[in-house]
Amino acid sequence: MRSWLRQPGLISALPVAAFLLVGFAGPLLMVIGFSFMPPRTFSLAQAPTLANFTSVVTDSYYVSFFWSVSLAAITVLLLLLVSYPIAYGMAKLFGKWANLVTVLVVIPLLVSENIRLFGWVLFLLKNGILDGSLKALFGLGAPQILYSVPAIVLGLVYVYLPFMLFPLVIGLSLVPDVLKEAAADMGASRLQIFREVELPLAMPGVLIGSMLTFILALGSLAESKILGGQAIVMIADDIESAFTFAQNWPKGSVLSVLLIAFSGALVFFLFRRVDLDRIIGRR
């Protein structure tokens, strides 16, 4: 028998590999295949063309890409600002109460995202919970942010908070307190300890959280539809419309391929520059 056939690991992995090939790589390859088919066709058995790529570049899809990338970047920055103190508390200060915070953050995940976002609509609506309560109590209404870009950002930050928070908690728990104490003993200021000791050591969590939330926000759709009143069109919305109302699978495929390529390139570039194994191993 050949040597590779005698390796139980390889043989055991074969069913999973086959499953991944059919269930994960297969659909991706089909999307790539469709992107080269003539516009508004439903079969892969045609002469390939670049017409869809040309039309996507010449049309104004850059607007949707711009909004998706910008809002994803803003979301990541805001999430870092909001989550870092909470994560710090959970990793270093709260002790047994950290579990309670974890439960409080996780419980909303059991409710459908659309329902949670619709809850925000009722909260922010004109004469809704916030506006109505403020009017009743103080005679002054709340600023109207519903159906605008800030409402979309609020939705993105709210929905993706756990995906930033938990990697940050893990990242911060990788930072040994003795190193910070040592830095303080050697005269480092609090800012210096944060910048030169804590942040670099917590970087795996920061990077994984940022990457996760950036990619999720990039492909998001519900926030702009429900909270934003489609004040802007995200790229995922364009993709959905191309596959459904436009009945143009090849165009939807091109937009998907471009989004996947962009996300893939970003992850590849970042993880080429930052070696997570090395950072974690440095502990």
Partner 1 sequence: MFKSKHTRRNFLQQTGAFAAAYAALGALPRVARAAREKELNVYCWEGYNSDDVLDPFRREFSAKVRAEGLTSDPDAVNRLRAGETKVWDLINVNNPWAQEMMWPEKLIRELPRDRFEPMFAKMMPQFHPPYPWAMDKTGKHLLGMTQRFGPFSFVVNTDKISRGMAEDQGFKLFLDPKMKDRYGVLTYDNWNIYHMCVTADVHPFRKHTKQEIEAVGKVARQIFNGAKILTDDLVQMNLALINGEIDAYFTGGTYTASPARFDGARNVRGITPKSGPMGGKGGIVWIELTSVVNNPQVSPLAEEFLAYVQRADVSKKVAFAEGTYNPVTQMGDSAVLSKFDKDELDAIQWDSLEEEMANSVDYDINPDYAEMYDLYSAAKREREA
Task: Check: CB of residue 72 under 8 Å from CB of residue 64.
Answer: no
Q: Which of 73, 74, 125, 270 binds partner 1 (CB under 8 A)?
A: 125
Q: Which of 193, 205, 238, 259 binds partner 1 (CB under 8 A)?
A: 238
61 binds partner 1 (CB under 8 A): yes
Tokens of 196: 């030169």
Interface size with partner 1, residues (CB under 8 A): 35
What would the DSSP string read from start to end of 200-223?
Answer: HHHHHHHHHHHHHHHHHHHT--HH
Least spacing, CB of residue 232 vs partner 1, in Å:
6
Least spacing, CB of residue 226 vs partner 1, in Å:
7
Least spacing, CB of residue 212 vs partner 1, in Å:
27
Least spacing, CB of residue 243 vs partner 1, in Å:
7
Tokens of 191: 């800012």
63 binds partner 1 (CB under 8 A): yes
d(CA 86, CA 88): 5
Least spacing, CB of residue 68 vs partner 1, in Å:
12
C-alpha 272: how far from chain center? 20
Burial 126-152, CB ≥16 within 10 A → b, else e: eeeebbeeeeeeeeeebeebbbbbebb
What would the DSSP string read from start to end of 178-189?
Answer: HHHHHHHHTT--
Largest CA distance in the chain: 85
170 binds partner 1 (CB under 8 A): no
DSSP classification of residue 231: S
Q: Which of 26, 59, 195, 271 binds partner 1 (CB under 8 A)?
A: 59
Report the residue number, 126 or 190, with the smaller CB distance to partner 1.
126
Least spacing, CB of residue 42 vs partner 1, in Å:
5
- Give the binding range for partner 1 (CB under 8 A) out of 154-162, 170-178, 212-220, 247-255: 247-255
Non-local CB neighbours of 204 within 8 Å, separated by 6+ positions: 167, 170, 171, 174, 276, 279, 280
Least spacing, CB of residue 201 vs partner 1, in Å:
33
Task: Check: CB of residue 167 under 8 Å from CB of residue 76.
Answer: no
- Give the binding range for partner 1 (CB under 8 A) out of 79-87, 93-101, 141-149, 267-275: 141-149
Report the residue number, 148 or 192, with the smaller CB distance to partner 1.
148
Q: Which of 56, 165, 205, 225 binds partner 1 (CB under 8 A)?
A: 225
Burial of 43 (0-12, 13-18, 19+ CB in 10 A): exposed
223 binds partner 1 (CB under 8 A): no
The residues that touch partner 1, with contacts defined as CB under 8 A, are 8, 11, 40, 42, 59-61, 63-64, 118, 121, 125-128, 146-149, 225-226, 229-233, 238, 241, 243-249
